[in-house]
Amino acid sequence: MKPNLIALTLALALAAPPALAWSRQGHQLVGEVAERQLSPEALAEVRTLLADEPEPSLAGVSTWADEIRAARSPLGELSKRWHYINIPGKDCDYMPARDCPEGDCVIGAINAQARVLADRSQPKQARVEALKFLVHFVGDAHQPMHAGHPHDRGGNNHQLHYTGKGSPEGEGTNLHGVWDYWVVQSAGLDDAAYADRLMALPAPADPALGADNPAQAWALESCRLIQAEALYPRDRRIGDDYLDQHRPLAEARLRLAGTRLAELLENALAP
Ligand SMILES: [Zn+2]
C-alpha cells in the first residue's frame, strides 16, 4: 500500500465513530466468542442458515441490524427500537407497559426473534433474519448504555470531550458513543487477537441462568451497572484513564454476551 493510501486508511479508521451500538468490533467479538462455544450440531445449523450471506459467520452478520437501520430500509425502520431499552431512575425499576410497549425494545425483540429462529415451520428467510437480529441484539443488551435512562437517551445526550491516544487533538463525543466505540477500540487489538483475549478470561458466572426471561435479566443487569460502576464520569473531559478503568467491564460484558448468545442458539437450534 502506498504511504498516502495508508494515511487515508488510518484517517478513516480513526474517524468519528458512528452512533451505532458496540462498534463493529464489539459486535464481531460477541459473534466470534459465541461461535467458538457452539456445539458441532448448532454450528452446522448456523452454517446452513447463513450459507447465502457474504460472510457466513456469526461475526460476519453481527452488524447487519445496524446496516439496515442506517439504510432506513423498511425492516431497518421497523426494528429501530429493538436495539435498546430506556428505563427511568437509577434503580432500573422496569415496567414493561411503560418501558417496552408492544414489545418494541431490546428485551421484546430478543424474545420474539428467538421464537422465530426456533420455529422450523417459519420461512427460511425469516429464520435467517432472526439469527442475524439475535447476534446483534444480544450484544446490544449487554452494552450498559443500551439499557440506560430516557432523560439523556441512554447517554446519547450526555456530551463529553475525549482527548487521548485515540484522538490526541481531542474530539466531542457522548457517553453512549464512548461505550459503543472508544472503550473497546482503544485496546488496539485486531478481532482475532481480541477474541483470543476474551476467551482466555475466566468463564463468567451467569447470574441470569435459569431466569424466566433471560433477555430481561440481561438488560436490567446492564442498566444497574450504570450506577454500580459509576459509568457517568465526574468531568465532561475524559482521557484514556476513563477508558482503561472501564475496559475490563466492557470486556466482561462482551464475553458474557457471547456465552449467552451461544446458549440461546443451542436452545433455539437443538435438533
Ligand atoms: Zn444495535
1 belongs to a structural domain: no
Q: What is the mean pLDDT of the chain?
A: 92
13 belongs to a structural domain: no
Quote the pLDDT of residue 2.
43
Q: Above 90 in pLDDT, residue 75?
A: yes
Q: Above 50 in pLDDT, residue 10?
A: no
Q: Which residues pair with 172 in a beta bridge?
A: 161
CB 254 within 8 A of CB 198: yes
User: φ, ψ for residue 120 (rounded to 5)?
Assistant: -75, -5
6 belongs to a structural domain: no
190 belongs to a structural domain: yes
**CA neighbours closer than 13 Å in the CB half-sphere of residue 180:** 25
260 belongs to a structural domain: yes
173 belongs to a structural domain: yes
pLDDT band at 15 (very low <50, low <70, confident <90, very high): very low
CA 104 – ligand 1 centroid, Å: 14
Number of structural domains the chain divides into: 1
- pLDDT per residue as tens digits for the range 155-208: 999 999 999 999 999 999 999 999 999 999 999 999 999 999 999 998 888 989
CA 2 – ligand 1 centroid, Å: 35
User: φ, ψ for residue 110 (rounded to 5)?
Assistant: -60, -45
CA 196 – ligand 1 centroid, Å: 23
Task: Tell me whether residue 100 is exposed, middle or buried, using C-beta atoms within 10 angstroms of its C-beta: 0 to 12, 13 to 18, 19 or more.
Answer: buried
Q: Above 80 in pLDDT, residue 143?
A: yes
Quote the pLDDT of residue 204.
84
Cell numbers for 216:
430481561
Domain that holds residue 94: 20-269
CA 5 – ligand 1 centroid, Å: 31
**Can you tell me the distance from the alpha carbon of 171 to that of 45, in angstroms, rounded to the nearest whole number?**
44
105 belongs to a structural domain: yes
Average pLDDT for 107-122: 98
What's the distance, CA 255 to chain centroid? 11
**CATH number (domain holding residue 53):** 1.10.575.10
114 belongs to a structural domain: yes
